[in-house]
C-alpha cells in the first residue's frame, strides 16, 4: 500500500519530532524508564494512526459514461431533493457521503467529462453532518458536464477535524471517472448534486468505496443496461 503524496511531508516531520522528543526523554529522564517506555509506545500508536490517514490503496476503478461512482470512501448520510443555489439555482437530488477519520481521504471524480465550473470557498469548520456544513464550511464546488450529457456538481467539505482541502482540477479540464480530483486531510464529507430524475443506487447508511461503488445512474436517451 502506498502513502499519498499529501501526507509524506507531514509524516516525515512528525516522525522526526516524535523521535527527537523520545530521545530527549530517554536522555534527561533516564531514571523514569517506565514512563519513557509508555510515552514511546503512545508515540508509535499516534504515528501509525496518522499513517493510516494518508494511505492510498490500489483500486480497480469502475467506469461508465452514465453511471456515477462514489467520489470517496465512507457512509451515505443524505439522499434527498434540495434546492442547489450556487450553480443550478433549481431543485437537484443530493447524495452525501461522510468520511470518518479511518476512511481513505482521497476524493475521486464521480464521472468523466469537462469541468465547466470550479470555485473554492473559505469558511467555517462545523461538524460534517451539520445541515449547514454544505454551505457554511470551507469547501470546493466542481461542476462537470458529463460525457452522457447531464451536469453533475460535487463538493469537498471540510469538517471539525479537516482543516485542509486540496484539489487538482480547474475550469476547462477534462476529467476521467475514478481518478483523483483532490484530498481532504483527516476526513469530512462529499456532496453530489444530480438531476432530480437520476436513479439512485445506494441507500442511507450504506458504506461505499471511492471509484468503485456505483451510487447513481443518470437519465439519458440511451441508458446502459445496469
Residue 197's CB is within 10 A of a number of other CB atoms, namely 9
The answer to whether residue 188 is catalytic is yes
Assigned C-alpha cell, 206: 450504506
- What H or E segment, with its residue span, contains residue 131? none
Dihedral angle sign, alpha carbons of residues 190, 193, 199, 204: positive
Nearest to 127 by CA among 147, 104, 100: 100
Q: Please list, in sequence order, all residues whose beta carbon lies within 8 angstroms of the beta carbon of residue 207, skipping any fewer than 6 positions away.
A: 74, 75, 76
Catalytic residue (one of 133, 134, 188, 224): 188
Residue 110's CB is within 10 A of a number of other CB atoms, namely 31
Q: Give CA 25 to chain center in angstroms.
A: 38
Please state the φ and ψ torsions of residue 29, each to the nearest 5 degrees.
-125, 40
Please state the φ and ψ torsions of residue 204, each to the nearest 5 degrees.
-55, 135
Query: Which residues are marked as active site?
Result: 188
Amino acid at each position: 500500500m502506498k502513502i499519498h503524496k499529501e501526507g509524506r511531508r507531514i509524516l516525515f516531520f512528525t516522525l522526526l519530532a516524535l523521535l527527537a522528543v523520545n530521545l530527549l526523554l530517554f536522555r534527561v529522564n533516564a531514571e523514569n524508564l517506565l514512563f519513557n517506555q509508555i510515552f514511546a509506545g503512545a508515540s508509535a500508536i499516534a504515528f501509525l494512526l496518522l499513517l493510516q490517514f494518508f494511505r492510498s490503496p490500489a483500486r480497480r476503478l469502475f467506469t461508465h459514461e452514465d453511471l456515477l461512482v462514489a467520489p470517496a470512501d465512507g457512509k451515505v448520510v443524505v439522499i434527498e431533493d434540495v434546492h442547489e443555489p450556487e450553480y443550478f439555482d433549481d431543485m437537484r437530488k443530493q447524495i452525501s457521503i461522510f468520511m470518518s477519520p479511518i476512511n481513505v481521504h482521497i476524493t475521486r471524480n464521480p464521472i468523466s467529462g469537462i469541468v465547466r465550473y470550479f470555485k473554492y470557498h473559505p469558511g467555517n469548520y462545523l461538524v460534517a453532518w451539520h445541515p449547514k456544513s454544505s454551505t457554511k464550511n470551507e469547501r470546493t464546488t466542481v461542476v462537470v458536464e458529463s460525457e452522457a450529457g447531464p451536469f453533475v456538481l460535487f463538493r469537498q467539505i471540510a469538517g471539525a477535524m479537516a482543516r485542509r482541502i486540496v484539489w487538482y482540477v480547474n475550469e476547462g479540464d477534462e476529467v476521467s471517472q475514478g481518478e483523483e480530483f483532490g484530498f481532504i486531510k483527516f476526513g469530512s464529507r462529499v456532496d453530489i448534486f444530480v438531476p432530480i430524475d437520476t436513479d439512485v443506487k445506494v441507500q442511507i447508511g450504506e458504506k461505499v468505496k471511492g471509484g468503485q461503488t456505483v451510487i447513481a445512474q443518470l437519465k439519458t436517451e440511451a441508458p446502459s443496461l445496469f
